[in-house]
Amino acid sequence: MTLITAPVFAARQPDEVVRINKTYVSRDGFHPGESITAAVEIEMIPGWHIHSHDPGDEFLIPTEILLDDDPMIENAEIFYPEPIKQKYSYADTELMVYEAKVYFGILLHPVDDLNPGAYKVKGKFSFQTCDDSSCLPPKSIEFEINFVVVENSVETNAINSKVFSDIVFEKTKYRSSYSSIEERSIFFSH
């Protein structure tokens, strides 16, 4: 008699291990035509990690930020945090991962004629959670970035400075940039 067993995943579910703590914007208001600097704070419980945007193994599921298609946003840039290199028993090579708390930077480029008012951009954070020996099924968590556009005559102030001082908004290999509407179908989900 042959006994067939299915693989057993860890007792935890992905949404118990990884959570979006908060989304942030860098100013209390933005002027029409001004880019919106935003961030998504992700936290994992100790002993767990998620693969980076480029995990180092084609068979692993990368972490991605996907924004919903929105006519008020012409294009956007995602700035992934620099991952750490770790070796796990489920992979033959060292992998690029995120652990603990990380911030993902987002630079939104809205249309120039966006009227003053409150706005939100919706997105999804897609990832696969793993511990030292196995991985849970892939998961996506939805999030919103809320921001306010004000008249050009209104003074705005920097906020959340500590969060944004930890994010590198520069051209690196951890940045995904989509600079034209034609490329939006790759970046924005429908």
**Cβ 128 vs Cβ 3: under 8 Å:** no
Separation CA 94–CA 50 (nearest Å): 14
Q: What does pTM read for this prediction? A: 0.84
pLDDT, one tens digit per residue, over 159-170 is 999 999 989 888
What SS3 class is residue 16? helix
Separation CA 132–CA 145 (nearest Å): 33
Give the CB-side neighbour count of residue 183, counting CA atoms within 13 A.
11
Separation CA 52–CA 169 (nearest Å): 17
- What the chain holds in terms of domains, given with CATH numbers, is 15-177 (2.60.40.10)
Mean pLDDT over 135-144 rounds to 94
The amino acid at residue 62 is P
Burial of 127 per CB tally in 10 Å (0-12, 13-18, 19+): buried
User: Nearest-5° angle of CA 173, CA 176, CA 179?
Assistant: 130
pLDDT, one tens digit per residue, over 40-79 is 999 999 999 999 998 888 888 999 999 999 999 999 999 9
Pseudo-torsion of CA 118, 122, 125, 162, nearest 10°?
-10
Report the first-to-last Cα separation within the chain, whole angstroms.
49
Separation CA 38–CA 103 (nearest Å): 10
Higher-confidence residue: 179 or 134? 134
